Structure 1
Amino acid sequence: MTRRLWLASVVACAAATPALSELAPKDVAFVEGAVETSLTGTPGNPEEGVKVMTTNALGNCVACHQVEAIANVQFPGTIAPPLDGVADRWTEAQLRGIVANAKMTFEDSFMPAFYKTEGFIRPGNAYTGKAPDGDLPPILTAQQIEDVVAFLMTLKE
């Protein structure tokens, strides 16, 4: 009976503990701009990455970048580098770092930090007094970052 109770408690604990956990934005380790470790431990889905890149309320990467592989973009942006062949120019770790927070690679980048929650300048307080206090949620989830990176890794010359 004791052995059966012990086994049941081990199974219950295993079921309650997620197999993979998401890395919090403040815990992401950038090494020369690259992020070697997956943010989720789960492979990204390239199809979901396209959705993130083309959805206004998510990443909306195509507002600034051109991507030949995404033909259904009505007004592709031209103010950022084209992403065609990006997987030949950058490693997966470098792309993960750039998508998470491009300023860690390109200090003067105007690309938003998609996986950042702290360290923002809040000029709204001086004008409206309504800027939020404390940490903000990241623009994209860790899985959405992995999905975008998975799609970018398909963009070879």
Structure 2
Amino acid sequence: MIALATACLTGSVAMAEVVPPSEVTFDGYAVEQSLTGTPGNPEEGRKVMTTKSMGNCVSCHAAEDYADVPFHGEVGPPLDGVGERWSEAELRGLVVNAKMAFEGTVMPAFYKTEGFNRLGDGFTGKAHPEDKPVEPLLTAQEVEDVVAYLKTLTYDE
């Protein structure tokens, strides 16, 4: 405990920097680098995915693991086994901006703040104010949490 406190005071413990949306680097559609340098929390990722006011992934994707959450959509593919089919970097890339892999997808880019066409201002029906910064739909840590949760969705559950 004392060693940790000393390390913090002397600055020898490096704090990970959050990668801003505009600086995310894609390799094809994969994002190799963690957005936070902090491992994702699968429990928090499940919460983000199944909460309508957060990621709202459940509105388009079904999975046995969250069959207890009502009103699953079927627009997107089922997520059962996704942790075996995709690497962590591929899943991160799909969550950050699925259009890098699937150009015509209706899946939102959850960690993007620029390059939009006709960006709206919430549910007001008005254009996004030019003087107001665009915030990503999910924070960098929420993206990492979702990726950690997706990696748990295997056929061996």
Range into which the TM-score falls when normalised by the shorter chain: 0.7 to 0.9
Per-residue CA deviations over 1:96-149 (Å, capped at 9, x if unaligned) read 000010001111111000000011112669xx7643216410000000000000
Match of 2:85 in 1: 89
Match of 2:5 in 1: none
- Aligned equivalents of 2:153 and 2:126: distance in 1? 44
Q: Sequence identity of aligned pairs in percent?
A: 56
Match of 2:150 in 1: 152
CA drift of 1:22 comes to: 0.5
Which one of 36, 50, 57 corresponds to residue 54 of structure 1?
50
- Aligned equivalents of 1:150 and 1:61: distance in 2? 15
- Aligned equivalents of 2:126 and 2:27: distance in 1? 37
Match of 2:4 in 1: none
Larger Rg over CA atoms = 1
Match of 1:141 in 2: 139
Detail structure 1 runs of 4+ shifted over 3 Å in the superposition. none
- Aligned equivalents of 2:119 and 2:137: distance in 1? 19
Which one of 67, 73, 77 corresponds to residue 69 of structure 2?
73
SS of structure 1 residue aligned to 2:64: coil
Instruction: Kindly indicate whether the alpha-carbon contact (under 8 Å) linking 2:118 and 2:127 is maintained by their aligned counterparts in 1.
Output: no
Instruction: Kindly indicate whether the alpha-carbon contact (under 8 Å) linking 2:119 and 2:127 is maintained by their aligned counterparts in 1.
Output: no
Match of 1:98 in 2: 94
CA 1:124/1:90 → structure 2, altered by over 3 Å: closer, same or farther?
closer
Per-residue CA deviations over 1:10-53 (Å, capped at 9, x if unaligned) read 946x39x9611110000000111000010000000000001100
Match of 1:5 in 2: none
Match of 2:3 in 1: none
Which one of 92, 104, 109 corresponds to residue 105 of structure 2?
109
- Aligned equivalents of 1:45 and 1:35: distance in 2? 18
CA 1:62/1:19 → structure 2, altered by over 3 Å: closer, same or farther?
same
Runs of 5+ unmatched residues, structure 2:
1-7
CA 1:124/1:152 → structure 2, altered by over 3 Å: closer, same or farther?
closer
Query: What amino acid sits opposite 1:133 in the alignment?
Result: E
